[in-house]
Amino acid sequence: MGYKIGNIQIDNILSLAPMAGVTNIAYRKMCKKYGAGVVTTEMISDKGIFYNDKKTKMLGMIDDFEHPVGIQIFGGDLETLIFAAKWVDEETNADFIDINMGCPVLKVLKSNAGSKYLLDVDRIYKTVDSIVKNVKKPVTVKIRIGYDHNSINAIEVCNAIIKANASAIAIHGRTKSDLYSGEVNYQIIKEIKEQHPNFPIIANGNIDSPQKAKQVLDYTKCDGLMIGRASYGNPFIFKQINHYLKYNELLDDLKIADRINILLDYAKDLIFYKGELMAMKELRGQAGWFIKNCPNSSKIRAQLSSINTFDDLKNILNLTIFEN
């Protein structure tokens, strides 16, 4: 097992999916610590980089612990997208440059970016080809299987990306119109892998348990698996999946107290990077994920949604442990 992104050897085949507003630097480190092999930043706007926006550029900050790590960029204008790719190439510690060609969010589509690319295979070829020719680091692309169910074209899209000399493709097995729900089409991912046995293909979409991971891996024969929402409040899922793939044996889920400790460590790290208030604002939405399935979770989640300080967080969580 294992594959290469350009000349970077990937031994742990599990990737953390890029998720805007979620996969910040501390989140990525947490997932890495609990078994993710490859991590990628959330999508970063090419225009933000082009106009030297500090907040945008901060999203590309990387810790040494994260390698191998990619920075994902998005944008609909070739000139500024190349500018952003060169910035990742020359001014960041990222190991590879990932291009977002799958995002279904309206604002992104309006700028001709994300899954809008899927409507024009020639444009995909030209874009990937130009970026590859302008940078030294490997270029990867994240796509969906098509724009909608009448235009599923992942096979042609992958052919174009591979012809343009990209180094890997992650495929979310849904169309843009599906957004984040509905069935995931693993069959087309399997077909693409069959057609490109020597090119790294990473399967993504609803991989939410060790058994599901094994099933998708066995079925698609992909080189890697990418996991997004199943990591919410449970970065340990990476360890569970790795263990199951290796030993065919299930590790127990973490107990609530362990999950809370992971959250507190994550919170401390996030404070280190963003300051207390910013970190707590970000955690207002995320902290509740770590207490999923514990009694009174909706009441606790409501309390967590207004935290301002680390002590607020700790006090609410201490109470949670005490009550459970």
Ligand X SMILES: Cc1cc2nc3c(=O)[nH]c(=O)nc-3n(C[C@H](O)[C@H](O)[C@H](O)COP(=O)(O)O)c2cc1C
**88: contact with ligand X by CB under 6 A:** no
Nearest to 154 by CA among 113, 110, 198, 190: 190
C-beta of 40 vs 303, nearer to ligand X: 40
**116: contact with ligand X by CB under 6 A:** no
Q: Which range of residues in 14-22, 147-155, 159-167, 286-294 is near ligand X by CB under 6 A? A: 14-22
- Helices assigned H by DSSP within 164-206: 186-195
Of 19, 245, 251, 321, which lies in the binding site for ligand X, with binding defined by CB under 6 A?
Answer: 19
Query: Catalytic one among 103, 158, 222, 294?
Result: 103
Rg over alpha carbons for the chain, rounded to the nearest Å, is 19
Distance CA 320, CA 291 (A): 8
What torsion, rounded to 10 degrees, do the Cα atoms 226, 169, 215, 185 define?
100
Supply the minimum distance, in Å, between the C-beta of residue 304 and ligand X: 18
Q: Is 222 a catalytic residue?
A: no
- The string over 28-63, giving b where at least 16 C-beta atoms fall within 10 Å of a residue's C-beta and e elsewhere, is bbbbbbbbbbbbbbbbbbbbbbbeeeeebeebbebe
Site string for ligand X, 155-174 (x = CB under 6 A): -----------------x--
Alpha carbons within 13 angstroms on the beta-carbon side of residue 166 total: 27
**180: contact with ligand X by CB under 6 A:** yes
Of 8, 20, 152, 294, which lies in the binding site for ligand X, with binding defined by CB under 6 A?
Answer: 20
Count CB-CB contacts under 10 A for residue 27. 23
By CB under 6 A, what part of segment 229-268 binds ligand X?
Answer: 229-230
Of 72, 153, 240, 320, which lies in the binding site for ligand X, with binding defined by CB under 6 A?
Answer: 72
**78: contact with ligand X by CB under 6 A:** no
**228: contact with ligand X by CB under 6 A:** yes
Under the rule (CB under 6 A), what is the footprint of ligand X?
A: 17-22, 42-43, 72, 100, 102-103, 142, 172, 180, 204-207, 227-230
Residues annotated as catalytic are 103
